[in-house]
Amino acid sequence: ALEPGISGVTVELLDAGGAVIGQTTSGAGGAYSFPGLAAGTYSLRFGNSDGVTTYGRTVANVGSDATDSDADPITGQTGSFTLSAGQINNDIDAGLTQAVSVGDRVWFDLDADGTQDVGEPGINGVTVILDYAGLNGTFGDGDDQIGAASQVTAGDGTYTFANLVPGTYRVRVDAATLPAGLAT
């Protein structure tokens, strides 16, 4: 059985040059349409919110075109497709998933016990890098996205990577951005 559609998601229609030429919102069951299009080359860009919940985008192009997601997980945009006069293509869609997030704090471990104790200060300005293990959840097998995202810690050492697709991730600190004399 197909997974449930999501209503209220913005869908933009783009021309061959990438300009937005139409916009709609998915209705009941996630359905949307752009009727009466002229023959030509188009692409779509899907939002990742129904106005209440922000979702993560799932991976694209991993199965049958009729049932897989066609939207890039980062941009929400599909590849281009060409329609001939009178053609209907109901196979351009986007998979959204309940988003997950990961984050915490980079801190100065004054007593070197590996635990964030009261009074141990956060470290501002440290680059934290997020690696994604890919669709199969295993690092080191070729589908990894090493350096998928990065952030710089806030004043109290906090960072958060939000709106991620559920999966296996690794967080690491760029040691070159630590203050002098500190190491991971």
* Helix/strand/coil percent split, the chain, to 5: 5, 35, 60
Q: Is the pLDDT of residue 74 over 70?
A: yes
Q: pLDDT-derived band of residue 155, with 50, 70 and 90 as boundaries?
A: confident
Question: DSSP strand E in the chain: where?
Answer: 10-14, 20-25, 40-46, 55-57, 81-83, 96-98, 100-105, 127-132, 145-152, 158-164, 169-173
Q: Is the pLDDT of residue 52 over 80?
A: yes
Q: What is the pLDDT of residue 9?
A: 95
Q: pLDDT, tens digit, for every residue of 60-71?
A: 777 666 668 889
Q: What is the pLDDT of residue 17?
A: 96
Q: What is the pLDDT of residue 183?
A: 76
Report the percentage of the chain scoring pLDDT > 90: 64
CA distance readout (Å), 90 to 31, 64, 67, 87, 119: 10, 13, 10, 10, 58
Average pLDDT over residues 72-85: 92
